[in-house]
């Protein structure tokens, strides 16, 4: 008998199978997961809780171990305890002592000096070989770099020089987190270093937005329904908006965020990937390379931003003091770890065009920011108005065009806004919302998907070398120009709890359109 969870996965598989004739929901082959940075935030908040849930739902291989590595001296027992606390904290309702006992014994820990080759050649190598034997995982390893990017060079170089990554009949996967570089040059350099030691098929660049349930569903929705695809083009679509707004401020991440800013943090990866999925052509097959080829073509078709008219295409902002949930909140420049004169943008809005047959002339408006009035990620497709005002004699108001909203987070699902007659004798239209919501409790978290897919050698949810570089090549000149003029921007220029700076509203209003309210 299947558990509800297995039922869900089976039904996802069935839908996918019916749609594309190819879907893989098998439990992965035996493997060992080696986490660099195992004492860190990502391991505690995402990687281990996701692995625990996969274990709980019997989606991990029987032969499986985790080896945590970081500088911090601790024993395996201490590591297990700290992970137990972390998992319980993340999923208090999902936590089960018996399941944890089973899972926890598969966790191991060793301290490591990231920069010393001998740590890899000797102690790490010996420990992995011992665990491989104990768990019968064969030479199948996933190396997850959950470390700050400043450590990538040392770890990739030292790891790549061991024979652990040149297995006999096994597999090596290297997982890299965002940010992947901070501009085109650094991304290229990192790709070159990775490719010196690993093949592209062994590299998994995470963009966890791609693994969110509704994001994965964009392809199903577009290509498994007959009614939308014929309309999905410049003839019927007026414009597209992509929003990723946060209510949180910079929290404890000032060290990273001060160096990054919103364009590196959100646009180069997540927003561009959402854009690529929304705008891509149907792939030849539902498999990683075909889908990644199509996503890549969209990025290639984005028109470069005109640097001499950047203000027409991009508005940036930084939050000042304001109010969230009725409580006063600090300005970005007052947050711990942030410079009092910081010019780091915490908000950006962009207008861009995809120069191809399907989308020529259709503007895509993207926006993302911190300390905004709502926490929301969504893609909204704004259709053109009806061509003939049949009801003009009886209706005073213009007819609102249809809008399709793909809600990525929260309240995952989609809505279609139509116009319908309000009951009564007069001709009076009102918006009718057709709404579909996923039930939150059956969703797999994005990190569960990426871990599972990585174990199954499936690259569909990961970003390819050329995709990363193309996104950086579009944004690097923009970031450079914005950074060189940042002191002139008059930051802060929006209040915490508002919907962004005035310049962002102007960006779209100049075109006779408006942002969807947050
Ligand atoms: N946290 C998130 O939600 C999140 C989300 C998306 C992407 N990421 C990415 O995932 C990676 C890990 O993020 P994280 O938040 O877990 O990072 P973190 O907590 O700051 O660091 C991870 C581990 O790396 C080691 N470390 C940190 N700074 C170091 C230094 N200067 N020298 C040597 N070791 C150092 C620390 O372990 P030891 O001191 O014990 O060695 C730390 O536990 C980063 O690339 C980040 O950008 C994180």
Q: How far is the CA of 187 from the centre of ligand 1 (A)?
A: 19
Residue 127 sits in the same domain as residue 219: no
Ligand 1 neighbours, Cβ below 6 Å, are 37, 39-42, 45, 70-72, 114, 146-149, 151, 177-179
Q: How far is the CA of 410 from the centre of ligand 1 (A)?
A: 26
Best residue among 147, 174, 187, 210 to mutate for probing ligand 1's pocket (most ligand atoms within 8 Å of CB) is 147
CATH of the domain at 138: 3.40.50.720
Let me know if residue 44 belongs to a domain: yes
* CB distance 380 to 400 below 8 Å: no
For residue 518, the SS3 value is: coil
Q: How far is the CA of 498 from the centre of ligand 1 (A)?
A: 31
Q: In this structure, what DSSP letter does residue 164 have?
A: G
Residue 121 sits in the same domain as residue 223: no
CA dihedral 26, 27, 29, 35 (to 10 degrees): 130
Residue 28 φ then ψ, to 5°: -65, 165
Closest-CA residue, ligand 1 atom 22, reads 40
Q: Which of 240, 208, 358 is nearest to 297 (CA)?
A: 358
Closest-CA residue, ligand 1 atom 3, reads 42
Residue 356 φ then ψ, to 5°: -145, 180
Measured CA to CA, the distance from residue 104 to residue 65 in angstroms comes to 10
Instruction: Give 86-117 pLDDT, tens digit per residue.
Output: 999 999 988 999 999 999 999 999 999 999 99
Helix H, strand E, coil C: the string for 44-94 is HHHHHHHHHHHHHCCCCCCCEEEEEEECCCCCHHHHHHHHHHHHHHHCCCC
Q: At what angle do helices 184-197 and 152-160 cross, to 10 degrees?
A: 20
Let me know if residue 183 belongs to a domain: no
* CB distance 227 to 198 below 8 Å: no
Q: By residue range, what is the domain housing residue 329?
A: 210-385+464-509
Q: Is the dihedral of CA 6, 12, 17, 20 positive or negative?
A: negative
Residue 471 sits in the same domain as residue 326: yes
Q: Is the pTM for the entire model greater than 0.85? A: yes
Let me know if residue 449 belongs to a domain: no
Determine the atom of ligand 1 nearest the C-alpha atom of 37: 23
63 has a pLDDT exceeding 70: yes
pLDDT band at 393 (very low <50, low <70, confident <90, very high): low
Q: In this structure, what DSSP letter does residue 268 have?
A: I
Best residue among 35, 36, 41 to mutate for probing ligand 1's pocket (most ligand atoms within 8 Å of CB) is 41
* CB distance 486 to 342 below 8 Å: no
Instruction: Give 147-192 pLDDT, tens digit per residue.
Output: 999 999 999 999 999 888 876 788 999 999 999 999 999 999 999 9
Determine the atom of ligand 1 nearest the C-alpha atom of 42: 16
Residue 364 sits in the same domain as residue 473: yes
pLDDT band at 390 (very low <50, low <70, confident <90, very high): confident
Which residues, in sequence order, are CB contacts of 242 under 8 Å at separation 6+? 271, 274, 275, 278, 364, 365, 366, 367, 378, 379, 380
Residue with the bigger pLDDT between 393 and 402: it is 402
Q: At what angle do helices 48-56 and 76-90 cross, to 10 degrees?
A: 80
For residue 404, the SS3 value is: strand
Determine the atom of ligand 1 nearest the C-alpha atom of 72: 40
Determine the atom of ligand 1 nearest the C-alpha atom of 40: 43
Q: What is the pLDDT of residue 443?
A: 67
Average pLDDT, the chain: 91
Best residue among 42, 149, 211, 265 to mutate for probing ligand 1's pocket (most ligand atoms within 8 Å of CB) is 42
CA distances (Å), origin 201, targets 19, 142, 197, 458: 26, 13, 12, 9
For residue 22, the SS3 value is: coil
Q: Is 270 a catalytic residue?
A: yes
Instruction: Give 284-319 pLDDT, tens digit per residue.
Output: 999 999 999 999 999 999 999 999 999 999 999 999
Q: In this structure, what DSSP letter does residue 110 have?
A: E
Q: Please calculate the CA angle 142-270-340 and round it to the nearest 5 degrees.
A: 105
Q: Which of 483, 485, 451 is nearest to 182 (CA)?
A: 483
Residue 247 sits in the same domain as residue 324: yes
Let me know if residue 396 belongs to a domain: no
Number of domains in the chain: 2
Residue 220 sits in the same domain as residue 295: yes
Q: What is the pLDDT of residue 1?
A: 45
Residue 376 sits in the same domain as residue 239: yes
> Residue 315 forms beta bridges with which residues?
349
Q: How far is the CA of 282 from the centre of ligand 1 (A)?
A: 37
Q: Which of 108, 141, 173, 270 is catalytic?
A: 270
Instruction: Give 236-287 pLDDT, tens digit per residue.
Output: 999 999 999 999 999 988 999 999 999 999 999 999 999 999 999 999 999 9
Which residues, in sequence order, are CB contacts of 37 under 8 Å at separation 6+? 43, 69, 70, 145, 146, 147, 148, 151
Let me know if residue 416 belongs to a domain: no
Closest-CA residue, ligand 1 atom 25, reads 37
Residue 158 sits in the same domain as residue 288: no
């Amino acid at each position: 008998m299947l558990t509800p969870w297995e039922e869900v996965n089976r039904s996802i598989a069935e839908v996918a199978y019916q749609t594309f004739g190819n879907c893989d929901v098998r439990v992965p082959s035996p493997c060992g997961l080696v986490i660099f940075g195992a004492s860190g935030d990502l391991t505690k908040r995402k990687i281990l809780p996701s692995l625990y849930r996969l274990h709980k739902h019997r989606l991990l291989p029987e032969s499986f171990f985790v080896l945590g590595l970081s500088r911090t001296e601790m024993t395996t027992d201490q590591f297990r305890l700290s992970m137990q606390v972390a998992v319980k904290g993340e999923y208090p309702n999902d936590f089960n002592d018996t399941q944890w006992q089973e899972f926890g014994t598969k966790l191991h820990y060793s301290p490591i000096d990231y920069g010393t080759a001998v740590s890899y050649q000797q102690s790490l190598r010996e420990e992995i070989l011992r665990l491989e034997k104990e768990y019968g995982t064969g030479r199948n390893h996933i190396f997850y770099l959950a470390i700050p990017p400043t450590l990538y060079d040392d770890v990739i170089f030292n790891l790549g020089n061991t024979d652990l990554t040149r297995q006999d009949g096994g597999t090596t996967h290297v997982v890299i987190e965002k940010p992947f570089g901070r501009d085109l040059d650094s991304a290229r350099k990192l790709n070159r270093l990775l490719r010196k030691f690993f093949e592209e098929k062994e590299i998994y660049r995470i963009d966890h937005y791609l693994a969110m349930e509704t994001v994965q569903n964009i392809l199903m929705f577009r290509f498994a329904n007959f009614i939308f695809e014929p309309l999905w083009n410049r003839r019927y679509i007026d414009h597209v908006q992509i929003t990723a707004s946060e209510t949180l401020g910079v929290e404890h991440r000032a060290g990273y965020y001060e160096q990054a800013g919103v364009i590196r943090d959100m646009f180069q990866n997540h927003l561009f990937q959402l854009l690529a999925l929304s705008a891509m052509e149907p792939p030849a097959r539902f498999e990683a390379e075909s889908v990644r080829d199509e996503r890549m073509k969209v990025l290639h078709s984005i028109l470069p931003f005109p640097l001499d008219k950047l203000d027409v295409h991009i508005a940036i902002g930084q939050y000042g003091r304001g109010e969230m949930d009725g409580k006063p909140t600090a300005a970005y420049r007052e947050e711990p770890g942030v410079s009092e004169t910081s010019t780091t943008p915490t908000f950006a809005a962009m207008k861009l065009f995809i120069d191809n047959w399907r989308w020529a002339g259709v503007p895509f408006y993207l926006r993302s920011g911190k300390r905004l009035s709502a926490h929301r990620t969504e893609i909204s497709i704004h259709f053109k108005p009806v061509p003939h005002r049949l009801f003009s004699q009886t209706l005073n108001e213009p007819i609102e065009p249809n809008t399709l909203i793909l809600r990525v987070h929260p309240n995952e699902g989609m809505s279609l806004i139509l116009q319908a007659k309000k009951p009564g004798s007069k001709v009076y239209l009102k918006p009718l919302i057709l709404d579909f919501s996923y039930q939150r409790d059956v969703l797999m978290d994005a990190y569960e998907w990426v871990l599972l897919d990585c174990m199954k050698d499936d690259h569909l949810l990961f970003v390819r070398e050329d995709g990363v570089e193309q996104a950086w090549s579009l944004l690097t000149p923009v970031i450079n120009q914005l950074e060189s003029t940042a002191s002139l921007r008059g930051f802060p220029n929006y209040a915490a709890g508002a919907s962004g700076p005035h310049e962002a509203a102007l960006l779209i209003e100049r075109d006779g359109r408006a942002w969807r309210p947050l």
